[in-house]
């Protein structure tokens, strides 16, 4: 039988085919390895996602329990003290409370929300009954409210830029909240201004939900906001315009200083009065004014009676739950509680996040 001579050409073709097959096998193997790795990543991600959802739901349950505990603690604190004032030596104002939980820790602190300036009170009409929406001698614009004037002075006290148009900024905030489309001053801003921006939007014409809304308003920037942040808050009631002198500390005493805005009165005098505050707090505004050690004009005393108080009805619980093997799940909630005349507390708002 005659042997078949495939020759050099046949051998080369065979080698080329084997090489192609080998490359194909390597490519298929690499592709399958990538598929398996990706599939493993997806499974791992889904497992982690499921675990995170379970931990989050568990944390939310704990936070719900913290809210109920805060309501009970607040009610008990006021019922036990039977005082007509709210001050920092009452049980609710302690350093907070914390509890170990399965796989983590939960804690909470309570803050008086009338120890800050309520931005929404800017649109509250003065108590003399004047209609502040009616134009007056203020170049045909609406008369500034008391809250508007206080906020303007607060901006002045908390920012280093001496050139800020503080009254204009206060008018901008009023325009953002009030329901009409009439600017509150020559530097105010309604829809016409915001609609002319490169990225247009509209004014809220509603209550401010969070202080950070200031950053969306005309002429406000991060520096102004950062200067104000420790002194401002938002309550869903524009009539809550009084600051509690018994829960203001030396760290935010500029609030009282801005309210009084009295000639010859210094911030140091306000701090000294707060430092001399009795353990049970001032019984009334007159006691505090007397502690200032200065004869104040009649209009300043009237302003103090109008915008200062010794009582509070709004409180905020900041609850934190940390859970998981390495504390990988952390949930923070700020819960706003309202106190009625029977010392019952109702949850009226929540905000999730550190700010």
Please state, for a pLDDT cut of 70, what percent of the chain lies above it: 89
Task: Please tell me the predicted confidence (pLDDT) of residue 328.
Answer: 72
- Whether 35 is covered by a domain: the verdict is no
Domain count, the chain: 2
Please list, in sequence order, all residues whose beta carbon lies within 8 angstroms of the beta carbon of residue 101, skipping any fewer than 6 positions away: 62, 321, 323
- Say whether both 140 and 217 belong to one domain: yes
In a domain, 272, yes or no: no
Average pLDDT, the chain: 87
CA distance 3 to 355: 89
**Domain's final residue, options 212, 231, 250:** 231
CATH number at residue 77: 3.30.1300.30
Looking at the structure, do residues 107 and 173 belong to the same domain, yes or no? no
- Does 227 have pLDDT greater than 70? yes
Return d(Cα 260, Cα 157) in angstroms, integer: 13
Span 254-264, average pLDDT: 94
Q: Which two tokens stand for residue 93?
A: 């104002």
Last residue of a domain, one of 214, 231, 248: 231
In a domain, 161, yes or no: yes
**125 and 90 co-located in one domain:** no
Q: 88 and 136 share a domain?
A: no
* 187 has a pLDDT exceeding 60: yes
Q: Judge if 226 and 149 occupy the same domain.
A: yes
pLDDT digits (tens, 9 = 90+) for 124-166: 986 443 444 444 445 567 889 999 999 999 999 999 887 899 9
Claim to verify: residue 130 and residue 62 sit in the same structural domain: no
pLDDT at 80: 82
Residue 73 within a domain: yes
Burial 130-164 (b: 16+ CB within 10 A, else e): eebeeeeeeeebbbbbbbbbbbbbbbbbbbeeeeb
Residue 290 CA to residue 287 CA, distance in Å, equals: 5
pTM of the model: 0.83
Residue numbers of the domain that contains 218: 121-231
Please identify, among 231, 256, 275, the residue that sits at the C-terminal boundary of a domain: 231
Q: Specify the pLDDT at position 19.
A: 66
Stretch 265-284: mean pLDDT, rounded? 95
In a domain, 148, yes or no: yes
Q: Where does the pLDDT of residue 12 fall: very low under 50, low under 70, confident under 90, or very high at 90 and above?
A: low
Helix ranges (DSSP H) in 82-130: none
C-alpha distances (whole Å) from 48 to each of 36, 66, 321 are: 18, 26, 19
**What average pLDDT does the segment 22-36 reach?**
83
pLDDT of residue 172: 97
CATH number at residue 152: 1.10.40.60
Q: Does some domain include residue 256?
A: no
Q: What is the mean pLDDT of residues 112-121?
A: 97
Instruction: Note the pLDDT of residue 2.
Output: 54
Please work out, in degrees rounded to the nearest 5, the angle formed at the alpha carbon of residue 233 by the alpha carbons of 229 and 236.
155
């Amino acid at each position: 039988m005659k042997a078949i001579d495939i020759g050099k050409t046949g051998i080369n073709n065979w080698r080329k085919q084997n090489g192609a097959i080998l490359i194909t096998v390597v490519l298929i193997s690499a592709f399958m390895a990538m598929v398996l790795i990706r599939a493993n990543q997806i499974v791992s991600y889904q497992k982690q996602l499921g675990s995170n959802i379970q931990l989050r739901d568990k944390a939310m349950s704990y936070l719900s329990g913290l809210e109920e505990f805060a309501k009970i603690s607040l009610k008990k604190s006021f019922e036990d003290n039977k005082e007509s004032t709210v001050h920092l030596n009452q049980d609710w104002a302690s350093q907070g409370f914390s509890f170990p939980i399965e796989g983590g820790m939960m804690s909470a602190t309570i803050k008086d929300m009338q120890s800050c300036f309520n931005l929404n009170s800017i649109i509250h009409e003065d108590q003399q009954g004047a209609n502040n929406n009616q134009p007056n001698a203020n170049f045909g614009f609406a008369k500034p409210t008391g809250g508007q004037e206080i906020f303007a002075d607060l901006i002045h006290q908390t920012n280093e830029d001496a050139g800020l148009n503080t009254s204009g900024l206060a008018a901008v905030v009023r325009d953002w909240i009030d329901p009409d489309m009439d600017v509150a001053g020559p530097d105010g801003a309604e829809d016409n201004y915001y609609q002319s921006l490169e990225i247009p939007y509209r004014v809220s014409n509603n209550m401010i939900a969070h202080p950070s809304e200031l950053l969306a308003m005309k002429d406000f920037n991060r520096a102004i906001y950062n200067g104000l942040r420790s002194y401002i808050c938002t309550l869903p009631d524009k009539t809550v315009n009084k600051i509690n002198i018994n829960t203001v500390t030396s760290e935010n005493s500029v609030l009282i200083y801005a309210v009084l805005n009295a000639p010859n009165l210094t911030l140091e005098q306000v701090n000294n009065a707060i430092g001399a505050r009795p353990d049970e707090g001032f019984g009334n505004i007159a006691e505090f004014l007397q502690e200032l050690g200065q004869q104040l004009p009649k209009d300043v005393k009237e302003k103090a009676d109008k915008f200062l108080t010794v009582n509070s009805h709004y409180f905020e619980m900041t609850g934190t739950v940390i859970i998981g093997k390495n504390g990988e799940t952390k949930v923070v909630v700020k819960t706003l509680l309202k106190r009625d005349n029977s010392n019952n507390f109702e949850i009226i708002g929540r905000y999730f996040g550190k700010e």
